[in-house]
A and B are shown apart, each in its own frame.
Chain A
Amino acid sequence: MIGYTVRRLLQVIPVFLGTTFLIFTVVFALPGDPIDAMGGGRQHVSESVKNELRQRYNLEDPIVVQYGKYMVNLAQGDLGQDFQGREVSSIIAKNWPTSIALGLTAWVIQILIGIPLGIWAALRRGRLPDKFVAVLTTLAFAVPVFVVGYVAQILLGVEWGWFPVAGVKAGWPTAFILPASVLAIMGLAATARLTRTSLIENLNTDYVRTATAKGISRSRVVMNHALRNSLIPVVTFLGIEFGALMGGAIIIEGIFNLPGLGNEIFKAIGAQNGPTVVGISTLLVIVFLLVNLIVDLLYAYLDPRIRHA
C-alpha cells in the first residue's frame, strides 16, 4: 500500500507540471497587451510606468523563465499579485468559501438522491420505477444546465418566491439550495445510472448467487454482498465529482450571482487579468489532482485486490 501511494504520488508530479505549464502558456498568450488593458479608465499611463509593471510581472522574460519563477514562488505559497495589485491568494480566500459551500451542497444532494434512485431502479429492473428513473436521468442529460438554472430561478425564485432569487445574503443553506440543486442535476443523473448498472451487474454475479444459497435474506444479500461491490465505481465517480465541484461553477454562479471562484475567474478572463486566471486555475488543478489521488487510494482501500497488488 505504501509503495502504491508513493508510485501514485510520483505520477502526479509530471501531470501537475504539464497541466500548469499549459495553462500558463495559454493564458499569457492571450492577445493584446494586458498592461495596456489594465489601464482601464486611466488613459494616460506613461511608458516608463508600463515598463516597470512589465518588469514586475516578468512579462519581458521568455515564457519558460516566467513559468519557472512562478513555480518557485508557488512552492513558497505565493500566488503573486494580479494586474490591479491585489494578492491572488486573498482573492481566492475571499471567493472560495462560496464555491465550496455551493459545491458541497450539490455533492451531498447527488449522493442522497442519486444513489437511492439507482438502487431503486436496479432492484425493480425493467419495471415502472426503473423506467421512471431512466426517463428522469435522460432528461437531466438532455436539458442544458443554464436553461434549467434560469427557469428555476424565474419560477421558484421570482414567481413563487420559494427561494432567494440571487446572491448569498440569506446565507447557507437558504441561499444555496436552489443553485446547488441545479448544479447537482447532471451528476445526480450520472450517479443514479452508474449505481443502477453497477448494482445490476453485481446482482448477477456468482458470489451473490452463492450468498443466496447460504440462506441469508434477500436484503442482506443486496446490502452486504451486491451493494458493497457495486458502490466501488460509484465512490470513484463521486470522488472525481467532488474535485470538480470544489472549483466553482461558472454558469450557475453567474445565473444566481454567487461571488464564487467561477464568477471571479470568468471576470478575470474577460479582463485579461492573467495572474488571477493562472492562480485560480493552478489551484483548481491542485485540488483536482489531490482529489484524484485520494480517490485512487480510497479505491485501493475499498477493493482489497488493488490494495495487495
Chain B
Amino acid sequence: MSGADNPSPLATKVDAGAARKAGPVTETPLLAIRDLVVAFQADGHETVAVRNVSFTILEGQTVALVGESGSGKSTTAAAINRLLAENGRIMGGTVLFEGRDLARASQRELMKVRGAGIGLVPQDPSSNLNPVIRIGDQIAEVLIAHGRAKGKAAKLRAIELLEMVGITDAARRYRQYPHEFSGGMRQRVLIAIGLACRPKLLIADEPTSALDVTVQRTVLDQLDELTRQMGTAVLLITHNLALAAERADQILVMNRGEIVEAGNTREILENPQHEYTRKLLEAAPSLASASTAHQVVANNTARGSSAQAGGVGVAVPADGPSATGSLPPAGVRGDDLVVVKDLTKIFNSRGVGGKVFTAVDGVSFSIPRGQTVSLVGESGSGKSTTANLILGLETVSAGSIAFDGTQLTTLRRRELFRLRRRMQPVFQNPYASLDPRFTIEDTITEPFRVHNLGTPASRRESVRTLLDQVALPSTVAKRLPHELSGGQRQRVAIARALALSPELVVLDEAVSALDVLVQAQILELLAGLQRDLGLSYLFISHDLAVVRMISHSLHVMQAGRIVESGTPGEIFRNPQVEYTKELLAAIPGAGLSAVSAMGSAE
C-alpha cells in the first residue's frame, strides 16, 4: 500500500477540479480532501491514523468510505468537520469544503459550517442523543443555532422534520425523551438533526450498524430518499462493502490509514484492482456468499473424502442450487444429537406485580450429528435464550431437551456436570469471553481442571494440540488476552470449547463482532473442525448472509417462535413467510449479489 499503489484517478480528479475552476459550477467538487494526515497522541507516542488521504465529493453524490475497524475511515470523517478526539490532530493536508479549507478554519468559521453546511449522522443511536433533553428540542436546537427558525417556528419545523423522517404522531413525540424511542427511531431523529438545515454534505458514520437488519434497511431507504430530494451529497462510512455497493456512486476502500482503491461502484465490484479489495469482496458474506460457498464445498469434498473414509460424518455447508443437490451424508446415521421439543422460557420480572415475559415460546427443532443448525432472528427473538437453555445456563420453563437421548431438564447436578463435557459454547464478544487475568494456557486448560482430567504435563500437551487445531502458534500460550487480536481471542475461545472433545458446540453470535476478513477465516476454521472432528454446531446469528454460508438447516425465529425452517437453499430461493422475505430483502447488497457473482466468476 505504498504511495505508488495509491490509485491515481483520485489525484487526477482533484487536479481536474482545481484546473477547471473556470468551468461550469457543477464540476467544482463540493468537498476536496488532499493529502490529509491525522495523528493521535497517546502516552507520548504519536500514531498516524490517516495517511495522505485524498478524494473529492461532487454535489449530490454519494461516496462510500469502506474499511475494517482501525482502517482510519471514521477518523477521516471526523477530521472533515474537525470533530477528532482531543488527542487527535490534523498534521497536514487540506479539507476544502465549498472552497474553504476546514483544516485551518477558526472555531467560529467551523461553527457556521457544522450543522448548516455539513450534517452528521453518527454511529450509535443509543449514545448520540442527550438523555435528559426532549427529542424535539434537540432538533430545534440546530435550526435556532443557524438562525433558520426561532421559538414557535422552530418547534413547528422540528415537528415537520420528525414527520419527514417517518415518525408518526410527531407533535406528541416532540415532547418525549430519547429513552422512549426505539433504536431505529432514534436513528431517524439523528437523521432529522443531520438534515435539519438542508446541508450540502451529510456525513453518515456507520449510520445503521447498531440496528437490526430490517430496521437498517428502512432507515437507509429513508436516508437515501431524503438526500436525493434535497440534493445532499453523502459521505457514507461503513465496514460493509455490500452496503456501500448498494448505496454509493463511488467507493473508496481504506486499509491501515490509506485509501487503497477508489472508483465507480460498478467498476470496483466487477473489476477490483487492489488485492485488499478483492479479499474484502471474497469475504463479504452477502456479496460473495455464493462463490465462497462453492469454494468451501469444493475444498470440503476434496479433503472431506478422507474424513468420510474414517467414518466421521462429513460436514458440507450446503448452499446454492448445486450444493443442495449433494446434501452431506451426515444424515446417513440418521440420528439427531439434540432434540428440542416445545421449549418455553418465561421470565418473571422481580417484585410485586412484575411483568411476565415469554422469551422462548414452544420451540421445537433437532440437531443431527455432524451438522450445523442455525437459529436466525433479530434482537429479542429468543435465539440466545434458546442457546442458554440448551447449555443449561437457564432453567427451562416448559418443554424438553434431549441430548443423545438423555433428558436435560430432569438431570441432577452431577449428571448435568458430566454431560457438560459433551457440549460447549463460544460466545460473541472476543473481548469479554476470556478472563483477562488468565493466560491463554490457563484459559484452555481450565476445562481439564474443572473436570479433573489429565496431569499438568498432559494438559500442556493438549494446549499445544488445541492451539494447533485453531491455527495459533504455541507461543501464545503464555500471553494474556489483551495481547491478542479479536480474531485470535475468538480462536482461543474455540480452543477452550474443544478441549473436552465435545460433540456439540453452541456458537452464539460467535463471528458477529469480527471484521469481515477475520470472520471469513473463523468460519472456514469452524467448517474445517466440523469436517475433521465430526462436530455438531448450533449456530446463533442475526446475519442471514453468514448463516447461509455455514448451515445445513436453519430456523428463522421471531418473538420467541420459529416461524420458518428449511435448508438455506430452500429459504433463500423460496421463502414462505413474510418475515423471512423481509429479512432476506434486508441483507445489504441482496440485489447486487448477481452482479458480484458474475464479477468473481470472471
Establish whether residues A225 and B111, one from each chain, have CB atoms under 8 Å apart when the complex forms: no
The answer, yes or no, to whether A212 is at the interface (CB within 8 Å) is yes
| CA A213 to CA B119, docked complex, whole Å | 7
Contact among B113, B116, B127, B146 with A205 in the assembled complex (CB-CB below 8 Å): B127
Establish whether residues B107 and A218, one from each chain, have CB atoms under 8 Å apart when the complex forms: yes
The answer, yes or no, to whether A216 is at the interface (CB within 8 Å) is yes
The answer, yes or no, to whether A304 is at the interface (CB within 8 Å) is yes
Chain A residue with the shortest CB-CB distance to B193? A214
| B contact residues, total (Cβ < 8 Å) | 31
Shortest beta-carbon distance from B263 to chain A in Å: 29
The answer, yes or no, to whether B132 is at the interface (CB within 8 Å) is yes
| CA A210 to CA B130, docked complex, whole Å | 9
| CA A166 to CA B124, docked complex, whole Å | 59
Shortest beta-carbon distance from B154 to chain A in Å: 13
Q: A216-B141, A218-B107 are in contact. Are A211 and B130 (CB under 8 A)?
A: yes
Q: Which residues of A contact B422 (CB under 8 A)?
A: none
Q: Which residues of B contact A225 (CB under 8 A)?
A: 130, 133
Q: A212-B114, A213-B83, A304-B179 are in contact. Are A228 and B133 (CB under 8 A)?
A: yes
Contact among A212, A217, A220, A304 with B131 in the assembled complex (CB-CB below 8 Å): A304
Contact among B112, B130, B146 with A207 in the assembled complex (CB-CB below 8 Å): B130
Shortest beta-carbon distance from A156 to chain B in Å: 42
Establish whether residues A213 and B114, one from each chain, have CB atoms under 8 Å apart when the complex forms: yes
Interface centre among A218, A225, A232 (most CB of B within 10 A): A225
Shortest beta-carbon distance from B162 to chain A in Å: 16
Q: A216-B141, A304-B132 are in contact. Are A206 and B124 (CB under 8 A)?
A: yes
Query: Residue-by-residue, is B299-321 near A (CB-CB < 8 Å gives 1, otherwise 0)?
Result: 00000000000000000000000
Establish whether residues B111 and A303, one from each chain, have CB atoms under 8 Å apart when the complex forms: no
Contact among B111, B127, B131, B190 with A305 in the assembled complex (CB-CB below 8 Å): B131
Interface centre among B122, B132, B142 (most CB of A within 10 A): B132
Q: Which residues of B contact A213 (CB under 8 A)?
A: 81, 83, 114-115, 119-120, 122
Establish whether residues B130 and A229, one from each chain, have CB atoms under 8 Å apart when the complex forms: yes
Establish whether residues A214 and B145, one from each chain, have CB atoms under 8 Å apart when the complex forms: yes
| CA A184 to CA B133, docked complex, whole Å | 32
The answer, yes or no, to whether B180 is at the interface (CB within 8 Å) is yes
Shortest beta-carbon distance from B398 to chain A in Å: 30
The answer, yes or no, to whether A302 is at the interface (CB within 8 Å) is yes
Establish whether residues A207 and B127, one from each chain, have CB atoms under 8 Å apart when the complex forms: yes
A-B contact count (CB 8 A): 80
Establish whether residues B83 and A206, one from each chain, have CB atoms under 8 Å apart when the complex forms: no
Establish whether residues A216 and B145, one from each chain, have CB atoms under 8 Å apart when the complex forms: yes
Query: Residue-by-residue, is A135-146 near B (CB-CB < 8 Å gives 1, otherwise 0)?
Result: 000000000000
Establish whether residues B129 and A207, one from each chain, have CB atoms under 8 Å apart when the complex forms: yes
CB neighbors of B among A212-256 (8 A): 212-218, 220, 224-225, 228-229, 232
Interface centre among A212, A213, A220 (most CB of B within 10 A): A213
Q: Which residues of A contact B123 (CB under 8 A)?
A: 206
The answer, yes or no, to whether A69 is at the interface (CB within 8 Å) is no
Contact among B111, B113, B177 with A308 in the assembled complex (CB-CB below 8 Å): B177
The answer, yes or no, to whether B458 is at the interface (CB within 8 Å) is no
Contact among A206, A215, A228, A308 with B112 in the assembled complex (CB-CB below 8 Å): A215
Interface centre among A215, A217, A302 (most CB of B within 10 A): A215
Shortest beta-carbon distance from B188 to chain A in Å: 14
Q: A218-B107, A225-B133, A308-B180 are in contact. Are A210 and B128 (CB under 8 A)?
A: yes
Q: Which residues of A contact B177 (CB under 8 A)?
A: 304-305, 308
| A contact residues, total (Cβ < 8 Å) | 24
| CA A220 to CA B107, docked complex, whole Å | 14
CB neighbors of A among B49-81 (8 A): 81
Q: Which residues of A contact B133 (CB under 8 A)?
A: 224-225, 228
Chain B residue with the shortest CB-CB distance to A217? B111
Establish whether residues A215 and B122, one from each chain, have CB atoms under 8 Å apart when the complex forms: no
Q: A210-B122, A304-B177 are in contact. Are A215 and B128 (CB under 8 A)?
A: no
Establish whether residues A215 and B145, one from each chain, have CB atoms under 8 Å apart when the complex forms: yes
Establish whether residues B142 and A214, one from each chain, have CB atoms under 8 Å apart when the complex forms: yes
Contact among B111, B128, B180 with A216 in the assembled complex (CB-CB below 8 Å): B111
| CA A205 to CA B83, docked complex, whole Å | 12
| CA A94 to CA B86, docked complex, whole Å | 56
| CA A225 to CA B134, docked complex, whole Å | 12
CB neighbors of B among A185-225 (8 A): 205-207, 209-218, 220, 224-225
Q: Which residues of B contact A214 (CB under 8 A)?
A: 114-115, 141-142, 145, 193
| CA A224 to CA B145, docked complex, whole Å | 13
Q: A214-B142, A214-B193, A216-B145 are in contact. Are A209 and B122 (CB under 8 A)?
A: yes
Q: A216-B145, A303-B131, A308-B177 are in contact. Are A210 and B115 (CB under 8 A)?
A: no
Establish whether residues B116 and A212, one from each chain, have CB atoms under 8 Å apart when the complex forms: no
Contact among A212, A215, A218, A303 with B132 in the assembled complex (CB-CB below 8 Å): A303
Shortest beta-carbon distance from A211 to chain B in Å: 7
Shortest beta-carbon distance from A302 to chain B in Å: 7
Given contacts A214-B193, A305-B179, 18 further A-B contacts (CB under 8 A): A206-B128, A207-B130, A209-B83, A209-B128, A210-B193, A213-B119, A214-B114, A215-B110, A215-B111, A215-B113, A215-B114, A216-B111, A216-B145, A228-B130, A229-B130, A304-B179, A308-B177, A308-B180
Residues of A that sit less than 8 Å from B by CB: 205-207, 209-218, 220, 224-225, 228-229, 232, 302-305, 308
27 cross-chain CB contacts under 8 A: A206-B128, A207-B130, A207-B131, A209-B128, A210-B122, A210-B128, A213-B81, A213-B114, A213-B120, A213-B122, A214-B114, A214-B142, A215-B146, A216-B142, A217-B111, A218-B107, A220-B145, A224-B133, A225-B133, A229-B130, A229-B131, A232-B132, A304-B131, A304-B179, A305-B177, A308-B177, A308-B179
Residues of B that sit less than 8 Å from A by CB: 81, 83, 107, 110-116, 119-120, 122-124, 127-133, 141-142, 145-146, 177, 179-180, 190, 193
In the A-B complex, the 6 residue pairs with the closest CB atoms: A215-B115, A215-B114, A213-B120, A206-B127, A304-B177, A214-B115
